[in-house]
């Protein structure tokens, strides 16, 4: 198997011709015959026992050719593509050129990465906006931790108040008749949540455990059940229990319980520092995004459509993987959103185009600057990936080629270089 021709047929598109010698082709045809003969019935022979020559005479000489060619293509094409030294993108289009006494000749039409030009990528001016940390930011973060460390206590010495959770039985009546879906028992309702009809929760405030009472409400005009929309209703309600969330005091004991600090002031200062760090990281990421946008504007390349299509499919697959990690899949997602695969591709396309252009720009910069990834850096990246997935480093090495890791690292280092040489004004 060898490459016999590699020629340009249009911009960024090549045709490769590669051959398979007769002995290899004949062996592949024989293998297909042996696999398929057991399912072939020929008059005069027991099923599965007809000679190859008889079958070929009956159905044509090439009866086994298509399957044999399909079996040979992966290895033959891989070898030819490697020999061509082209940076191929997308799936090839295969054709049979000839089958004769010399064997098999195939062709593959392929797209390749385009020639890229980029200038003036050093000294880009961008603004870095770092969001200030306010007292409200700190208080909000602390309040979240406080709520996580709260405890629910039973209320027995007072009536229900807003913010309490009440356990109730209820049944609704419209024009004196109970309606479907209007009944519940031992239902936990947090007062003030707005989960019931407007006015319902407010009328529970002030009621006590074991008290039975009526709640008078009017269904909203836009209520989903048309037969109830805009109508008055009476709910018969009984309270079984009242609970209240008790929050811990914001003091030194709280700080000791939720952190490694001995005082609340130290804990609060640490929270502020962590928010500042998050804001700084967000600002750095935003700077990189701005730099990439400038690089894309400076990029000159005639990019094949195939590159955009491939990257769009990558985005779709990644999205499907994220959905599955949450217990969903694309089929379920489409059912609830009204989307389909084409509309999802359309949604992902702008991100895919940006990714393709950014990658081409940074790869070109890496080449112009002679940027390489060291073995130490590659091994470090392997360890980082293994750690994030909780698997052995060797498993990562077995599944991801070192050249792919090196290519990604060169791109990252190219962006680091652009950022290092940029004029960044902090706001």
Query: What pLDDT score does 70 carry?
Result: 95
Query: What pLDDT score does 56 carry?
Result: 86
Closest CA to 77 of 157, 14, 13, 19: 19
Query: What pLDDT score does 1 carry?
Result: 64
Residue 61: CB atoms within 10 A of its CB come to 11
| Successive 10-residue mean pLDDT values, the chain, 427 residues | 88 94 93 89 84 87 92 94 92 93 93 95 96 96 94 93 94 91 92 91 95 94 86 95 94 95 96 97 97 97 94 95 90 90 96 97 96 93 91 91 93 96 94
| Local structure of 269: helix, strand or coil | helix
Query: What pLDDT score does 269 carry?
Result: 97
Which residues lie closer than 8 Å to 287 by C-beta, 6 or more apart?
A: 126, 128, 419, 422, 424
For the chain, the farthest-separated pair of C-alpha atoms sits apart, in whole angstroms, at 100
Q: Residue 278 is encoded by which pair of tokens? A: 């998050």
Residue 121: CB atoms within 10 A of its CB come to 22
The number of angstroms, rounded, from the C-alpha of 170 to the middle of its chain's C-alpha atoms is: 44
Query: Domains along the chain?
Result: 2-112 (3.30.70.1050), 151-246 (3.10.50.40), 266-426 (1.10.3120.10)
Which residues lie closer than 8 Å to 71 by C-beta, 6 or more apart?
A: 28, 31, 32
**Distance between CA atoms of residues 142 and 126, nearest Å:** 34
Q: Which residue has the tokens 């001016």?
A: 125
Residue 302: CB atoms within 10 A of its CB come to 9
Query: What pLDDT score does 49 carry?
Result: 86
**Distance between CA atoms of residues 191 and 199, nearest Å:** 11
What does each C-alpha distance from 145 to 142, 187, 193, 246, 273 come to in angstroms?
5, 27, 21, 13, 16
Query: What pLDDT score does 427 carry?
Result: 85
CB 32, CB 71: distance < 8 Å:
yes
Query: What pLDDT score does 43 carry?
Result: 86
The number of angstroms, rounded, from the C-alpha of 101 to the middle of its chain's C-alpha atoms is: 51
Closest CA to 286 of 419, 384, 408: 419
Q: Residue 48 is encoded by which pair of tokens? A: 């599965």
Q: Residue 78 is encoded by which pair of tokens? A: 């891989």
Angle between helices 341-368 and 264-298 (to 10 degrees): 80
Closest CA to 265 of 247, 251, 249: 251
């Amino acid at each position: 198997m060898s490459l016999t021709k590699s020629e340009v047929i249009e911009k960024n598109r090549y045709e490769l011709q590669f051959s398979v010698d007769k002995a290899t082709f004949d062996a592949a045809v024989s293998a297909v015959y042996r696999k398929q003969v057991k399912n072939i019935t020929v008059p005069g022979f027991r099923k599965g026992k007809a000679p190859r020559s008889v079958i070929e005479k009956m159905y044509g000489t090439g009866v086994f050719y298509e399957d044999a060619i399909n079996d040979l293509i992966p290895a033959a094409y891989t070898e030819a593509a490697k020999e061509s030294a082209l940076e191929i993108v997308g799936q090839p289009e295969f054709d049979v050129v000839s089958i004769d006494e010399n064997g098999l000749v195939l062709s593959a039409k392929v797209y390749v990465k385009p020639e890229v030009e980029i200038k003036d990528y050093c000294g880009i001016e961008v603004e870095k906006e770092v969001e200030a940390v306010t007292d409200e930011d700190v208080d909000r973060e602390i309040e979240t931790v406080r709520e996580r460390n709260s405890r629910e206590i039973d209320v027995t010495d007072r009536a229900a108040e807003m913010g309490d959770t009440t356990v109730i039985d209820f049944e609704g009546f419209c024009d004196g008749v109970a309606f479907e879906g209007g009944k519940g028992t031992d239902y936990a309702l947090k007062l003030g949540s707005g989960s019931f009809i407007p006015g319902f929760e407010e009328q529970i405030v002030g009621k006590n455990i074991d008290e039975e009472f009526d709640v008078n409400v009017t269904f909203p005009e836009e209520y989903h059940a048309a037969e109830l929309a805009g109508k008055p209703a009476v709910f018969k309600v009984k309270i079984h229990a009242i609970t209240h969330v008790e929050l811990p005091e914001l003091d030194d004991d709280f700080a000791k319980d939720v952190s490694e600090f001995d005082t609340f002031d130290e804990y609060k200062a640490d929270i502020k520092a962590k928010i500042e760090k998050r804001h700084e990281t967000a600002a750095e990421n935003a700077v990189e995004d701005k730099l990439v946008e400038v690089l894309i504007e400076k990029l000159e390349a005639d990019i094949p459509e195939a590159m955009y299509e491939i990257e769009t499919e990558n985005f779709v697959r990644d999205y499907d993987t994220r959905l599955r990690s949450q217990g969903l899949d694309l089929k379920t997602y489409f059912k609830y959103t009204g989307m389909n695969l084409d509309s999802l591709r359309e949604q992902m396309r702008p991100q895919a185009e940006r990714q393709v252009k950014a990658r081409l720009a940074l790869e070109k910069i890496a080449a112009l600057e002679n940027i390489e990834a060291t073995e130490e850096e590659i091994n470090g990246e392997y360890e980082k990936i293994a750690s994030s997935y909780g698997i052995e480093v060797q498993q990562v090495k077995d599944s991801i080629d070192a050249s792919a890791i090196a290519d990604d690292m060169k791109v990252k280092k190219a962006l680091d270089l652009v950022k290092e040489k940029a004029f960044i004004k902090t706001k």
